[in-house]
Amino acid sequence: MSGISRGKKPPRVGDGKIFRRMLIGIVLLFVALLIVAPLLVIGVEAFAKGFAVYRDTIANPDTLHAIGLTVFTALIAVPVNTAFGIAAAWSITKFDFWGKRFLLVVIEIPFSVSPIVAGVAYLFVYGLQGVFGPTLDDWGVKILFAIPGIVLASMFVTAPFVARELIPLMQAQGRDLEEASTSLGASGWRTFFSVTLPNVKWALLYGVVLCNARVMGEFGAVSVVSGNIRGQTNTLPLHIELLYHDYQATGAFAAASILALIAVFTIIAKVALERQGAGRVRRSALIAQPAEKTP
């Protein structure tokens, strides 16, 4: 040990200049081919026939309806999943109850189940041959191949986004501040709005941004439950596929450019929120947990 210089750092994997440059080059090549190139193609093809054609394509009634339905779905699914995520995170991190671990597993199910499978499951629950289908039909309530089915499917696939951002952060923060607030006479709601919510606001916004992006870009589950009815139950991703199958490439790329813009704004918002501390809550939780166990 005496022969090893104290100031000399041990070698790391990839310290070689040639290997490092090769690795960076491979990563940049994959990014260029898999991410940058498709986005550039969308932009070029969308305006290939001029801005007037692009404008007329976007102004098409079916396209406008698809955009409106996508926004309408997001306006319902995102707030509902935000409320669900806050309630789930609050329950799991601030209370001890039987079945807590099972609830954590259930929240993660939409990430492990294919959206197509989720859509088929909704068919067996709300379809005419499903569990509740005949009863709903007798009452005149239509879930599938209508807007309610689209909203439900979108809510399913995006349910975990807010909760999985809040839970690790709230676990790392512990319960001390809430207990101190209640001991001073604050009500539960005042404790939530004055203590809990300010401490998780960036992680909450981070989860909302990701949830909104997924709702607007969801295809698999919605394609099963919507019926793909042009001008009625087509969201923007489904409308893009319909235009492409109708050999309307310019229209498909024009509609796809809207989703591409949403993706770009989502990335910008994601980076901005990460600079405020969101998105790193899991690492903070992992660091905080061992510290809590030390005497």
Give yes or no for residue 38 having a pLDDT over 80: yes
Predicted confidence at residue 81, as pLDDT, reads: 95
For the segment 102-131, the average pLDDT, to the nearest whole number, is 89
For residue 127, which phi and psi values (nearest 5 degrees)? -70, 170
List, for residues 202-231, the tens digit of each pLDDT value: 889 889 988 998 999 899 899 999 888 888
Residue 291 pLDDT more than 70?
no
Tokens at 154, concatenated: 């979108």
Q: Convert the pLDDT of each residue in 138-149 to its tens digit.
A: 898 888 888 999
The model's pTM is 0.81
**DSSP string spanning the chain?**
-TTS-TTSPPP-TT-SHHHHHHHHHHHHHHHIIIIIHHHHHHHHHHTTT-HHHHHHHHTSHHHHHHHHHHHHHHHHHHHHHHHHHHHHHHHHHH---TTHHHHHHHHHHHHHS-HHHHHHHHHHHHSTTSSSHHHHHHTT---TTSHHHHHHHHHHHHTHHHHHHHHHHHHHH-SHHHHHHHHTT--HHHHIIIIIHHHHHHHHHHHHHHHHHHHHH--HHHHHHH---TTTT--HHHHHHHHHHTT-HHHHHHHHHHHHHHHHHHHHHHHHHHHTTTT-HHHHHHHHHHHHH--
| Residue 7's pLDDT band (cuts 50, 70, 90) | low
Give the model's confidence band at 49: pLDDT under 50 very low, under 70 low, under 90 confident, else very high: confident
**Residue 4 pLDDT exceeds 60:** no
pLDDT above 70: percentage of residues in the chain:
88
Instruction: Give pLDDT, residue 128.
Output: 82
**Residue spans per domain, the chain:** 17-47, 49-278
Residues 49 and 250: beta-carbon distance below 8 Å: yes
Mean pLDDT of the chain: 84
Between 285 and 204, the more confident residue is 204
Q: Which pLDDT belongs to residue 69?
A: 94
For the domain spanning 49-278, the CATH number is 1.10.3720.10
pLDDT tens readout for residues 223-259: 999 888 888 889 999 999 998 888 888 889 989 998 8
pLDDT digits (tens, 9 = 90+) for 50-91: 888 888 888 989 999 999 999 999 999 999 999 999 999 988
Average pLDDT over every residue of 157-182: 87
